[in-house]
Chain A
Amino acid sequence: MSGEAATGPDRRQIRLPIAGLAACAVVAGLILFISYDQSPGALPDGNISGTFSFFVLFLTFVAVYGVFTLGLNIQWGYAGVFNFGVLAFFMVGAYTTAIFTKTPAKGSFTDYVGGFGDALNFAPGLATDQWFVPLVATLAAGAVAGLLAYVVSIPTLRLREDYLAIATIGVAEFVRRVAIEERGLVNGTRGLTGVPLPLRGLVDRGDEKYLKLVIAAVVLALVFLALERAVRSPWGRVLLGLREDEVATEASGKNVAAFRTQSFVLGAIIMGIGGSMYAYASSALTPDSFTHFTATFLFWAMLMLGGSGNNQGAIVGAFVLWGFWTLTLQIQGYELGDAVETRIPYVRDLVLGSLIVLVLLLRPAGLIPQEARVSMWVERRIRKLQAAERRSPDGEPVLD
């Protein structure tokens, strides 16, 4: 592999993921067009500003869902760990964030545990409620989700993959049920509202949507960079080996169970952080808004479409599918008649379900296929060789 890659700089050119970019552009263009078309044109620039805020909201949720898709990618795309219960880690992350940032429950209509917002605000002079409390909350969200994943992994991870799949569906259903039935825990079906936004002191109330986008995008970027670093390390290589051939990985002396657990827990931590971002972005949480479909299978479809095993693909998949989802919501703004309007969500589900099957059959690698990758050490060495080659253009190619 290294020999093939080192044959010349022309082979190493950055290949633009044309299919992925084209899909993103089409979706973004359609969303912009429809929202421009539907915005009331009362003010001179009414359509423009309406379109703009709508698109900011869209991008915010792309960033939030991108975090989940990245978390799923480290589990499924890299290590082949089969998690059908993203919902569980999503909910745990979102509710942990709410519990840590909100003030204690008061009034007869709200009832929840915790509400550590005031207790954690240890130095109000430094505006700790703006940065320290959310930071702790997000870290706690990741930690609790990771802990849950660890507990789940004990009975299931050493068994076959499909056992883990059904067990994680079970965990997700259980977490959802607990949130609904235990009314004193997170206010039951009435839900929690008013999760405070980090750094809200910096902007006007009207500009909070931009702040939400910036926070979500920064977190997405951090998670992306951390994961790119992790999967290029020896650790990431073991995960890939695990997915491709578990027996061979075990035979080369790797503790397969430990690596599977690590990838499962790491993915869950990222999902917990994603849940935290969701709590900030939407500021209201109700158990009804977390369904297996919107909080697990949607992310699977995103990852399958974008390309399992590719972090960029995961984000592109989140962009395209959340774009599609948004479009189906936008279309309902037109007069289409009852028979069509009531069925649009189901048609959307039909498309998503068929899409999963079609991607598996026609384009298993997704929009942005996984790149062939050896290791950081080899990549660095190739770069060095290419630089040497460029310095002596007539010289013989130096091979290792």
Chain B
Amino acid sequence: MMAAVTSARSSLSDRIRERRRMAAAWLSGPGLWVIIALFMTWAVLQERDAFTVGIVSGSIFALGALGLTLIYGVLKFGHFAHGDTMMFSAYIAFFLLGGFIVGERPGDELQVLPVTVNDLPGAGDAIWKFSFGYGLWVAMAAAAVLTAGIMVGLDRLVYRRLRDRKSGIVIFSIAALGVAIATRALMFIFYGPSPRLYYPGIRERLDLPFDVSLLADQLFIFATAVVVTALIYLLLFYTKLGKAMRAMADNADLARISGINTDRIILQTWIVAGGLIAVAGVLLALQVQLDPELGFVLLLPLFASAILGGLGNPQGALVGGLIVGITQEVAVTLDLPLIGEVSAGYKFSIAFIILVLMLLVRPRGLFGARV
């Protein structure tokens, strides 16, 4: 009798445990996708404007997270200077366009470059409905080259020495943090706290089908993000460099003994990441006004995007970036029960909430990275 009761009870608790395990498995697997899909559908139907803006800022996050995830995959550390380097290369482009170092007060400007990108014939004439001419592309390309050079230099000066010493990943992250603080301070010293625009003036708005309305520049940001992500995808999966990078991400020691020159791959990773950082930075400066505080503000969304997609995974970075961007914009329009209206000040805390939920439910990210 007792035995029967005990066994019944234990089978019941077993069943409950089994159910709970199944629920957790569903929530961390297909359920998560279902929830995301439902939320996105609802956002498209109900909050179309916020959704559109979210896609644009999400594109920028995606490009940033793409660089972050590449560095993470190959070098195995969280690059805490990523946001600040993006801000920095956006200022490089600003510098190349106008040749200015701008002082604290208006009119306190110092022309440094004798010839600037804006001096090229027709460089400033707006293309189609964009606010910029081909000069921005020239500046972006030049900024990409310069940023890549700076990243390689930083690696030689700082990160390689730490690597040679076999420092733990945390030491790299702290070093990156120091670099971030110094970068931010440098831009404050040169450009001061006042916000900058590449091209002042009114931006042209496009009215697309399905009642979607956005700035022409924002369309450009989204298109560039998609193209660049596609390029990185091709690089990773259809070139020798990409194969080597993936091999290193998988197992650096194994890659080395298989005859891959890991030092050169690390260098090339920094070059690719530097280019990505510059493109993301310039797009960021098109979307919002450029100021030195931007870098730190970006840090949470970038890491949230990269971790959401799965650290070390390029498609994940794109999807993660878009989800974080859209959720941020949509969430601050919400009027939740119990909590009430979500204030716009919480925008960047949303990224943090997504991050924590993701770490709780599925720490390896949507597209499964190693943890």
Contacts and interface: CB of A to CB of B under 8 A. Distances in A.
Q: Do A and B come from one complex?
A: yes
Interface in B143-175: 158, 161-162, 167-171, 173-175
Contact of B104 (A166, A177, A292, A338): A338
B181 A349 contact: yes
B359 interface: yes
A173 B173 contact: no
B324 to A, nearest CB: 12
Contacts of B175: 356-357, 360-361
Q: How large is the interface on B (under 10, 10 to 19, 20 to 34, 35 or more residues)?
A: 35 or more
A353 B363 contact: no
Interface string B205-227: 00000000000000000000000
A159 interface: yes
Contact of A292 (B105, B173, B192, B296): B296
Q: How large is the interface on A (under 10, 10 to 19, 20 to 34, 35 or more residues)?
A: 35 or more
A353 B180 contact: yes
Given A166-B303, A173-B348, A356-B177, A349 B170 contact: no
Contact of A174 (B178, B180, B296, B349): B349
B100 to A, nearest CB: 15
Given A166-B300, A360-B175, A361-B158, A353 B355 contact: no
A353 B185 contact: yes
Interface string A240-281: 000000000000000000000000000000000000000000
A155 B356 CA distance: 7
Contacts of A162: 77-78, 169-170, 173
Contact of A297 (B177, B299, B351): B177
Contacts of B356: 155-156, 167, 170
Interface in A317-362: 338-339, 342-343, 346-350, 352-357, 360-361
B182 A353 contact: yes
A355 B175 CA distance: 10
Nearest to A172: B352
A396 B367 CA distance: 67
A355 B80 CA distance: 16
B4 interface: no
Given A163-B359, A177-B346, A350-B182, 17 more contacts: A155-B360, A161-B173, A162-B173, A170-B349, A173-B349, A292-B296, A343-B189, A347-B185, A349-B181, A350-B181, A350-B185, A350-B189, A352-B181, A353-B185, A354-B182, A357-B175, A360-B174
Interface of A: 80, 82, 84, 155-156, 159-163, 165-167, 169-171, 173-174, 177, 180-181, 292-293, 297, 300, 304, 338-339, 342-343, 346-350, 352-357, 360-361, 364
- In the A-B complex, the 5 residue pairs with the smallest Cβ-Cβ separation, listed nearest first, are A170-B352, A353-B181, A356-B178, A353-B182, A349-B185
